[in-house]
Amino acid sequence: MNNEMWAKLHGATVHFPIALILCSGVMDASGFCWPGLATRRGLNVAGYWTLMLGALGTVPAVVSGLVMSNGVMLGHDAMRFHHLFVWPAFALIVGLAVWRALAGDFATRKPPAGYLATVGLATALIMGAGYWGGEMMLGH
């Protein structure tokens, strides 16, 4: 397969983790802000599983990105900025997912504020990565 095909696959795969992790954060945050909500438990269960799926989704996104660039970890200019956001985001998301899976019966429990803050940080990093990814595509 040529790089162009991998570039398309990258575009096709990155949006799943972006959307899932953003949704996960929003649902957990609502459960956190309104603990009395009747659907609170359901929100946290959904937050848990969207995070897991999002974390799984980072794997094809990262692999297709690396293959399309022939294994560039940093690169230059827009590519460099893209990666400076991507790698911390990737590490955070994997870390968050593993922590949440390990930290006991958390699917139905509202996660602590520190967790939500970290998801917020990961989301901000993802946005930065997306912004520079777009810059790369538009080209200058």
Partner 1 sequence: MNNLDESRPRPASPAGGKSIALAILAAALALASAFGLSMGLRRVESQTSHQQPTPEVWFESPTPTSPALVAQGRTLFLASCAHCHGADARGDEGPDLHDVRVSDRYIAHLITHGIPHEMPSFAKKHGAADITALTAYLRSLGNGSAFYCLVVRLRHGARWTATRSTSMSLMKTNGTRMPPRP
Distances (CA, A) of 27 to 58, 85, 107: 20, 24, 12
Decide: is 23 part of the binding site for partner 1 (CB under 8 A): no
Distance CA 131, CA 55 (A): 20
Distance CA 91, CA 88 (A): 5
Decide: is 105 part of the binding site for partner 1 (CB under 8 A): yes
Decide: is 52 part of the binding site for partner 1 (CB under 8 A): no
CB atoms within 10 A of CB 15: 12
Among 52, 72, 84, 136, binds partner 1 (CB under 8 A): 72
Of the candidates 71, 62, 67, 131, the residue with the CA atom closest to the CA atom of residue 93: 62
Which one of the spans 7-15, 23-31, 106-114, 127-135 is the region binding partner 1 (CB under 8 A)?
106-114
Residue (78 or 96) nearer to partner 1, CB: 96
Residue (67 or 127) nearer to partner 1, CB: 67
User: In a 10 Å sphere around its CB, with 0-12 CB exposed, 13-18 middle and 19+ buried, how is residue 71 labelled?
Assistant: exposed
Nearest approach in angstroms of CB 5 to partner 1 is: 15
Decide: is 36 part of the binding site for partner 1 (CB under 8 A): no
CA 6 to chain centre: 20
- The contact set with partner 1 (CB under 8 A) reads 41, 62-63, 66-67, 70-73, 75, 87, 90-92, 94-99, 102-106, 108-109, 112, 114-115
